[in-house]
Amino acid sequence: MSGELVLVTGGSGFLGAHCVLALLKAGYRVRATVRSAKREADVLAMLKVGGAEPGDVLSFAYADLTADAGWREAAAGCRYVLHVASPFPPGVPKHEDELIVPAREGALRVLRAARDAGVERVVLTSSFAAIGYGQTPVPGRPFTEENWSNLSEKVSAYVKSKTLAERAAWDFVGREGGALELAVVNPVGIFGPVLGPDHSTSTDFIRRLMDGEMPGLPRMSFGLVDARDVADLHLRAMTSPAAKGERFLAISGDFMTVLEIARTLKARLGNAASRVTTRVLPDWLVRIVGLFDGQAAQVVTELGKARNATGAKAMRMLGWAPRSREEALAATGESLVRLGLLRKSK
């Protein structure tokens, strides 16, 4: 396997960069897509923070999810493709198609290019958003890969974008994929070591907590997983014969409440987390704030809902062994401090 070429879409993203790091460590050559040449330096800087200076085993291709140009060239000569790129804004878009169209059409562009280039397998980064929404959680019955989000109910634009993109991918491979294989990874909230100032919505939530930008905590919970473990699961899904045609939830342990997350940060990071609040806000106040704050609006529909999910399938079938939730949170906070990305450390 050493030296084989793998395409990673969205190489300048938080998870994309961690996937590139994992592939380089495993001995693969990597081609990463970026939207423009200006982003190459950003990727190299993130990889350096992650401990890699790839030299000539890393190359770049220029392609955008919203256009056909560049995808054929990006996929040429690759044995595998990790399609990680997908929009995830911090707030609510003005129109849901701002998310849905690039997610769905971008996935189809990548799959067509992969099929035409003779790629063996594509691993698509989907999300728990395509699994656990638009339905009432049942206590004691965690969501699994058998579940799909119900879009006939009121769900967010992000949930729609991830669900429609993944369904479109499975439909394409089933009808037009030829010999192309597909595996899907469905992560919950992705945390872990930040590699640069342009990280992710999930890790920025930790930054906001640690910077004291949140005067109180919403009464909600979500799943956690470390980016390093999500990247590892992508590589396992890429090469394991058992992963063909399968979805894999990426989650470490049970969902955590935001209060549990805050308490973990304070316990693990000490003085660096001194600004983290443990005050829980009443639901009515969060709803009012959500009328004016895009980030607060994202969580209003989740107030008080006790969702849960399990990553047992990936552990059983692929031997995946993720870090603990607490380690993922601590690694996020420690990296924010180390890179000087908090107000307190500037």
Q: What is the pLDDT of residues 214-245, one digit of tens each?
A: 989 999 999 999 999 999 999 999 999 999 99
The predicted pLDDT at position 136 comes to: 87
Reported as a pLDDT band with limits 50, 70 and 90, residue 305 is confident
- pLDDT surpasses 50 at 8: yes
The predicted pLDDT at position 346 comes to: 42
Reported as a pLDDT band with limits 50, 70 and 90, residue 303 is confident
Q: What is the pLDDT of residues 75-115, one digit of tens each?
A: 999 999 999 998 665 566 778 998 899 999 999 999 999 99
Type and span of the H or E element at 82: strand 80-83
- pLDDT surpasses 60 at 295: yes
Average pLDDT, the chain: 94
Reported as a pLDDT band with limits 50, 70 and 90, residue 344 is low
The predicted pLDDT at position 2 comes to: 61
Angle, CA of 274, 328 and 339, to the nearest 5°: 60
Question: Is pLDDT larger for residue 312 or for residue 2?
Answer: 312
Q: Please report where in the chains the tokens 């640069």 appear, as a residue.
A: 196
Torsion of CA 312, 318, 321, 322, to 10 degrees: -80
Strands 256-257 and 221-222: antiparallel
The predicted pLDDT at position 286 comes to: 87
- pLDDT surpasses 90 at 184: yes
Coil, helix or strand at residue 101: helix
Q: What is the pLDDT of residues 244-280, one digit of tens each?
A: 999 999 999 999 999 999 999 999 999 999 999 999 9
Q: Which of 297, 302, 90 is CA-nearest to residue 207?
A: 90
- Buried b / exposed e over 54-91, threshold 16 CB at 10 Å, is beeebebbebbbeeeebbbebbbebbbbbbbbbbbeee
The predicted pLDDT at position 86 comes to: 81
Look up residue 235 and give its two tokens.
Answer: 């590589």
Q: Which domains does the chain have, with CATH numbers?
A: 5-192+224-252+309-325 (3.40.50.720)
CA dist 10 and 227 (Å) reads: 14
- pLDDT surpasses 70 at 1: no
CA dist 151 and 53 (Å) reads: 43
- Buried b / exposed e over 306-316, threshold 16 CB at 10 Å, is ebbbbbebbee
The predicted pLDDT at position 345 comes to: 43
Active site residue ranges: 162
Q: Which of 226, 217, 151 is CA-nearest to residue 188?
A: 226
Q: What is the pLDDT of residues 36-70, one digit of tens each?
A: 999 999 999 999 999 999 999 999 999 999 999 99
Q: Please report where in the chains the tokens 């906070």 appear, as a residue.
A: 333
Task: Specify burial of residue 346 (Cβ count, 10 A radius: 0-12, 13-18, 19+).
Answer: exposed
The phi, psi pair for 50, rounded to 5°, reads -80, 0
In the chain, how long is the greatest CA-to-CA distance?
56
Instruction: Give the Å distances, CA to CA, from 337 to 182, 195, 245, 331.
Output: 38, 12, 40, 10
The predicted pLDDT at position 89 comes to: 59
Number of Cβ atoms within 10 Å of the Cβ of 104: 23
Q: What is the pLDDT of residues 104-158, one digit of tens each?
A: 999 999 999 999 999 999 999 999 999 999 998 888 999 999 999 999 998 888 9
- pLDDT surpasses 70 at 23: yes
CA dist 259 and 279 (Å) reads: 8
Reported as a pLDDT band with limits 50, 70 and 90, residue 176 is very high
Single pTM value for the model: 0.95
Secondary structure letter of residue 88 according to DSSP: -
CA dist 56 and 46 (Å) reads: 16
Reported as a pLDDT band with limits 50, 70 and 90, residue 31 is very high
Q: Please report where in the chains the tokens 């109910």 appear, as a residue.
A: 153
- pLDDT surpasses 90 at 170: yes
